[in-house]
Structure 1
Amino acid sequence: MSPRLDATRTPHVPSTTPPVPDEAGLTPAAGAEGLEDLPEIPPFAEVGALDARALSKTLFARLETLEEGTHAYAYVRNTLVELNLALVKFAASRFRTRSEPMEDIVQVGTIGLIKAIDRFELSRGVEFPTFAMPTIVGEIKRFFRDTSWAVRVPRRLQELRLDLAKAGDELAQRLDRSPTVGELAQRLGITAEEVVEGMAASNAYTASSLDAQSTDDESEGALADRIGYEDHGLEGVEYIESLKPLIASLPARDRKILSLRFVANMTQSEIGEELGLSQMHVSRLLSRTLTRLRKALTVEE
């Protein structure tokens, strides 16, 4: 079982191996007071759907007469779980395409079945499968909602993702095209910013390995090879950071000339006119300043 299912935090799930009935139809350990008039219980593998439903009614009626915490109560409750495990397997089959192991999904669904058994009342006049199925499916969905996201996001965004998917399908069928952000916002009664936030959160549901190979074209290589690139701008980051204190230490006129030449992109003649200097003088000052900075960088290295 997946480590995410902590047995210390969930109700006890009885073994799927059916008990071996004795001559009275009960297991030897179940011969407790209050069980004497129960009908014979055949091996669960041989119990059909209709028989399981009828036998479940009898057991639910008996469960209401027993005191919780007694051996007899536990035996009847566990027998009800065994009889109705087919409901769990049927509900779990709807999620067979998910990445989680089927044993884990059945385990979670069985917890939902136990909760349904504890809440069920015959006096409501509802068939147990009808009552139990929403609880079982809800427990499985809650498991996927809480554990299957690749990156943990707030529950509000998890629920918004589901609302966007449902609204997107409805609008796509009606409009015969993909809906816009504005149309989704109007359909759900939320702002466009919230729709964009929900779409961004949807990207956190699944993750791909950087080493994953392309399924369309194996020649493309791994994902890391396709999305990576060389950022040549990084080559100058170290020089820029090293130059900052050196430029700050220059005289004000030299800093002004550097700013006009390399920031304002002015020519030496234009700089001369700006500062009241000749083009030749500007050239000498600029050359001297650059030589000074170059030597300082060399010393730093």
Structure 2
Amino acid sequence: MNISPAFSQYDDTAALIEAAGAATDQERRMLEDEVVRRHLGLAHHLAGRYAGRGADRDDLVQVACFALVKAIRGFDHDRGEFVPFATVTILGEIKKYFRDHCWGVRPPRRIQQMQADLSSATERRLQADSHQPDVTALADELGADVGDVREAMAARSCFSPTSLDQPVRDDARPLGETIAAEGSDYDFIDDWVTVGPLCRDLSDDERELLRLRFVEDKTQQEIAELVGVSQMQISRRLAKLLERLRASVGLVGAA
């Protein structure tokens, strides 16, 4: 962007921001746009440091750019240089975005904060020691309890929980099918004895859907590929079918 000759004297960031504070609305926007243009690389760099942690990269860039504008309008040259001030502002907004919008499962606030600090502590240790720090080293770096550090490290998966349909590394089965269910085999038999008579009133397609899912233990995605529809359609059909069966069980129990 070209700056009007009237503003050519402002050749450094602090002067541009100071001039913007005393300018008309149109002039202020021009000056602020120039400061933003000069520091877009900083915003993208800081957003990139948090990519791959459960938030979309484009969303992080938007947050960083918004924070850059916020830093421009909140900067006071008496506080020092603009870049350190903008860096602190941008990182603060990115961490706030993670805290408020990116938790799939929300852990305690102290663990949230420590989880955010772990990244910086890990980076500092890598630069100092050239190898991945262990839990004890990170606890020393943060001045925190080892148990809290372990809990914060485990909380990283709360940003993007593992799908139960994800295949197990050494097994073709989905993760959800490897998790043991509570209850005894007698409970399972009792459930099927109850549901069996109700299945007689189902259509052939509905019975086949139940057989594929609960007898052959196929995933919704595998069933969708066999039937030739989307996984979402299979999920909806199963949900409606199971809801009908539950309602029928309730009527039988009431009778």
Amino acid at match of 1:37: A
Distance 2:185 2:155 in 1: 31
Superposed CA offset, 1:1-46 (max 9, x none): xxxxxxxxxxxxxxxxxx4x4xxx44xxxxxxxxx521199xxxxx
CA deviations 1:170-207 (Å, max 9, x no partner) are: 9xx9xx9866xxx99xx6479x8x89987886664441
The percent of aligned pairs where both chains have the same amino acid is 28
Query: For 2:134 and 2:22, how far apart are their aligned partners in 1?
Result: 59
Counterparts of 1:19-58 in structure 2, within 5 Å, are 19=1, 21=2, 25-26=3-4, 37-39=6-8, 54-58=11-15
Distance 1:161 1:59, change over 3 A: closer
* CA–CA distance in structure 2, aligned partners of residues 202 and 235 of structure 1: 35
The structure whose Rg is larger is: 1
Listed as ranges, the gaps of 5+ residues in structure 1 are 1-18, 27-35, 42-53, 239-299
**TM-score, length-scaled by structure 1:** 0.47
TM-score w.r.t. length of structure 2: 0.54
SS of corresponding position for 1:114: helix
Within 2, Cα distance between the matches of 1:159 and 1:75?
37
The answer to whether the aligner puts 1:145 opposite 2:99 as a matched pair is yes
Matches of 1:84 and 1:177, distance apart in 2: 35
Q: For the Cα contact (< 8 Å) 1:220–1:226, is it kept in 2?
A: no
**Amino acid across the alignment from 1:158:** Q
Distance (whole Å) between structure 1 residues aligned to residue 116 and residue 6 of structure 2: 50
Q: Across the two proteins, how many residue pairs are aligned to each other?
A: 180
Please give the alpha-carbon distance, in whole angstroms, between the structure 1 residues aligned to 2:84 and 2:174: 48
Q: Which residues of structure 2 form unaligned runs of 5+?
A: 192-253
In 2, the alpha carbon distance for the partners of 1:156 and 1:196 equals 13
Q: Deviations over 1:58-105 (max 9, x none)?
A: 3123123225xx222222222222221111012122123333232211
Cα distance in 2 for residues equivalent to 1:160 and 1:65: 41
Structure 2 residue aligned with 1:60: 17
RMSD: 4.1
Q: How does 1:1-301 map to 2 (within 5 A)?
A: 19=1, 21=2, 25-26=3-4, 37-39=6-8, 54-66=11-23, 70-124=25-79, 126-159=80-113, 161=115, 188=144, 204-214=158-168, 216-217=169-170, 219-229=171-181, 231-235=184-188
User: How much does 1:136 deviate?
Assistant: 0.9
More helix by proportion, 1 or 2? Answer: 2
Query: Secondary structure, in 3 states, of the residue corresponding to 1:152?
Result: coil
